[in-house]
Amino acid sequence: MRIAGNKISDIKKYFYQELEQQYSQGEILILFRMAVQHINGLSHLDIHFEPDLRVQESDVLQYSWFVKRLVQGEPVQYIMGYTWFMDLKIKVTPAVLIPRPETEELANLIIMELQGIENPVILDACSGSGCISLALKAYCSNAKVIGVELSDEALEVSRQNAASLSLDVDFQKSDVLQLEKWAEPLDVLVSNPPYISNLERDSLSVQVRDFEPAMALFVDDPDVLLFYRKLSKIGLNSVISGGLIALECHFENTEKVAEILTNDGWKNVLIENDLSGNPRIVYGRK
């Protein structure tokens, strides 16, 4: 099916026709609004008050291509090439995980915990797009923030994000599973590491399984908590007394991660729920 004309209302109709098998009506409306904002810079109020507004033929082609990619299951953030994370525009490519709202809560928690600390040193392990590191630097300008990541492609994206946001974060290549200790004392160790078992691959949505990088999602080991065991040890060797470790987890594993931290000697270990009410973040003090 083709788009019937070049009015905004024709394009809206096309979105509903083509996407109704895969998305709810509410989701289609959001995707349509995102597309119109992205391609024509129009807000949803513009669309609402001027449904007969006409767009250029070249734009019609862009809408058609946008919908085709959505039908194939591609996440809208990869189609647009960016997403928003704590008011920061973050470039995303298929080399990086799309930053999630739950992760904003992790960054928020750290910002709250950092209050009163003058020049904190923060290590973000498994930094991906750089979203956590960049948000921490944006909200705590006096912090020294280092992001470490194994994927060269992801590192490149995070460095581009730092440059476009003019935020001074040091993104370095490093294999977290080979790290014992960070080179300087840390006030905070934060991480959102890979935490999905390979066995769960088939239960994931097409958008996640077929488009987001496997390296960001799956733990290539029978021990799905491998990263947490390692991060706890790195933290014990690197975080200063009273300093913070804060880890994002699969909601089914928070108790187990809290147990790992407690058994390793971390104090005041707590679990924080995400906005959907699922346990999500585990944090503690050295």
Which part of the chain contacts ligand SAM (CB under 6 A), choosing from 19-27, 128-136, 161-169, 203-211? 128-136
Distance CA 74, CA 210 (A): 8
Distance CA 96, CA 128 (A): 5
The number of beta carbons lying within 10 Å of the beta carbon of residue 166 is 7
Does 197 interact with ligand SAM (rule: CB under 6 A)? no
Nearer to ligand SAM, 3 or 165 (CB): 165
Nearer to ligand SAM, 92 or 114 (CB): 92
Does 103 interact with ligand SAM (rule: CB under 6 A)? yes
What is the per-residue binding string for ligand SAM in 34-73, x denoting contact by CB under 6 A? Answer: ----------------------------------------
Does 235 interact with ligand SAM (rule: CB under 6 A)? no
Binding residue (CB under 6 A) for ligand SAM from 19, 60, 92, 97: 97
Q: How far apart are the first and last CA of the chain?
A: 60
Does 176 interact with ligand SAM (rule: CB under 6 A)? yes
Which part of the chain contacts ligand SAM (CB under 6 A), choosing from 150-158, 163-171, 236-244, 261-269? 150-158
Does 154 interact with ligand SAM (rule: CB under 6 A)? yes
- SS3 breakdown of the chain: % helix, strand, coil, rounded to 5? 45, 20, 35
Nearer to ligand SAM, 8 or 99 (CB): 99
Q: How far is the CB of 265 from ligand SAM (least distance, A)?
A: 24
Does 127 interact with ligand SAM (rule: CB under 6 A)? yes
As a whole number of angstroms, the longest Cα–Cα distance in the chain is 65
The number of beta carbons lying within 10 Å of the beta carbon of residue 238 is 21
Distance CA 273, CA 102 (A): 9
Nearer to ligand SAM, 176 or 246 (CB): 176
Residue 227 DSSP SS3: helix
In 3D space, the residue among 210, 211, 175, 172 whose CA is nearest the CA of residue 193 turns out to be 175
Q: How many CA atoms lie within 13 A of 244 on its CB side?
A: 24
Main-chain dihedrals φ then ψ at residue 29, nearest 5 degrees? -60, -45
Residues near ligand SAM (CB under 6 A) are: 96-97, 99, 103, 126-129, 131-132, 148-151, 154, 175-177, 192-194, 215-216
